[in-house]
Structures are given as structure tokens and as C-alpha cells.
Amino acid sequence: MVNDTAHGYHEGCGRLEWDRPPESAYSQVEHTIIVHYLDKYLPPKGLVLDAGGGNGRYTIELAERGYQVVLLDRSAAQLAIAKEEVARLPKVVRDNILDIVQGSIEDLSEFESGHFDAVVCIRGALSRLIERDAREKAAEELARVARPVGPVFATVLSFYGALRKVLSEYPEDMHLLPEFFESRQKPTSTAYRDCFFFTPEEMVDLLARKGIEVVEYVGVQGLSAHLKDVTDECSRTPERWAVWKEVLLKTCNHPSVVGVSDHILVIGFA
């Protein structure tokens, strides 16, 4: 099941997620790395499921690139924002968004097996499933609705990255880390929302057991993870920023980088 606290956050945050400044360097890092791997592994065209896609930011990006897209998310509030934003698009882009559906990634039964040419689940929806059985079922469903040899992309919150974040942003909660090691869920009083945090190996294993052959996994913030201020400073000098983005793309899939990122992106084929 989806944790009610996490679900309540997404219902109540309104346009906060959509209006988060896209020009922030840290946001650019995440976007640059995710889009790089979408470009690398998506087929040239086809039907894509944006599973747990929230306000539809990546749905719109995919539609702008010519893909036909179905957006699915549990939050009615976030889907309402998606509909508002889609309505503002040029017709040629809007027509590529075939449906906006309220539903959970645990139950994709309205879609036939092999229905989508690609499945993306890159807004952390798997981490919002607190119960192990729910995560298992969702991963199984994501694999089922992808066509044979279709790519599946999934992003989750990183366990090791969360440990670093407690050190850097919530040191007063350090005493809760033993609890965090045991539960793998948010330490009780930290500012984290209720979620499950994965190691890279756990995420690879989860998808592999559902028949998804993992080909690559990356740290979504790469070497900039937990370095927001210096990343922002670097971005103010275009020549340095261009070099740093190249470094990020060359290193974000190295095992020593993946686990300490805030989020882990895993790519495989059903």
C-alpha cells in the first residue's frame, strides 16, 4: 500500500512540486542525468507509461519529444495540476498525451500485458510504498505492462544518500540512525516524508526478480549529491558548468557514486 503520510503530502503540496525553480543548478543536474538516460534507452518512438508521474512534468517532456504518453498517479491533486499544464500545450503536443489516469502502480490491471513500448517510474513512487509486498507487486506490474524487451526506468530514494543528508542537514537527528538502519524507513522525527530507502543492490535485485534485466544504474545527482551550494556556484560560470555537467554524465554510473546520491535510477529491459 502507499503510505498515507506520503500520499497526504502529495495531495496537499499543491503546485509546490511544479513551481520548484527549474533553473536551480541542483534541479538541472537531476534533469540532465535523467534525460540523458531516457535518450539513451528509449525507443525512437512509441507508447510510454509515466507511472507515478505526479504533476506530469516528464509526461509533457516525453510528449514534446513525440512519444505517445499515458500518465498515471494516485494523487488527484497532482493530476489536476497535470491537466492544467497539459491544457496549455500546443495541440500537436497535447494530442500525444493519450490519457491521465488516477491509480496506483500496485494495480495496473486496466492495461494489458505488454501494452507499453516503455515504462518510466521516475518520480520515486516505488519508495512511497512502505510495505514490502506492495513494492514487490508494483515492480511486477511495471514489468508486466512493458512489451517484451521494452525498457523500464525506475527511480527510488537512496539509503546511503539519506545517511549523508542527515549528517549535512539534520545533525540533530543523528541519534535516530540506528532505527533507520533497522527499518529503512524515515527516522521518526526527521524532515523526511515517510518512504522506503533502497541500496542500489536492493533495487537491482527487486527488478531482476520480476524479469527485468538491469543494464545500468546511476546516481541521479551524481558527484553533485549533497553539494547544492557549490553546484549553484559552479553554474554561474558557463564554461565551468559545461565541464562539470560532462563530468557528471561520465561518472554518475560509477558504483562509488550511485549509492551516495539522493536518488538512484535503474534501467532495465522487460
Q: What is the DSSP letter of 147?
A: P
Beta-strand pair 263-269/151-157: antiparallel
To the question of domain 4-159+192-269 being in CATH 3.30.460.10, the answer is no
Give the count of beta carbons closer than 10 Å to the beta carbon of residue 266: 26
Give 57-113 pLDDT, tens digit per residue: 999 999 999 999 999 999 999 999 999 999 999 999 999 999 999 999 999 999 999
Question: Nearest CA to 227 among 255, 199, 198, 247?
Answer: 247
Percent of residues, the chain, with pLDDT higher than 70: 89
How many whole angstroms separate alpha carbon 13 and alpha carbon 216? 32
264, 62 Cβ separation under 8 angstroms: no
Q: What does the alpha-carbon distance between residue 116 and residue 182 come to, in Å, rounded to a whole number? A: 37
CB 143 within 8 A of CB 212: yes
Q: Report residue 7's pLDDT band, with 50, 70 and 90 as the boundaries.
A: very low
Beta bridge partners of 128: none
C-alpha cell at 136: 514487490
Q: Tens of pLDDT along 175-204?
A: 889 989 988 887 666 666 789 999 999 999
Contact in structure between 214 and 267 (CB atoms under 8 Å): yes
The three state secondary structure string of 36-52 is: HHHHHHCCCCCEEEEEC
pTM: predicted TM-score of the whole model, two decimal places: 0.90
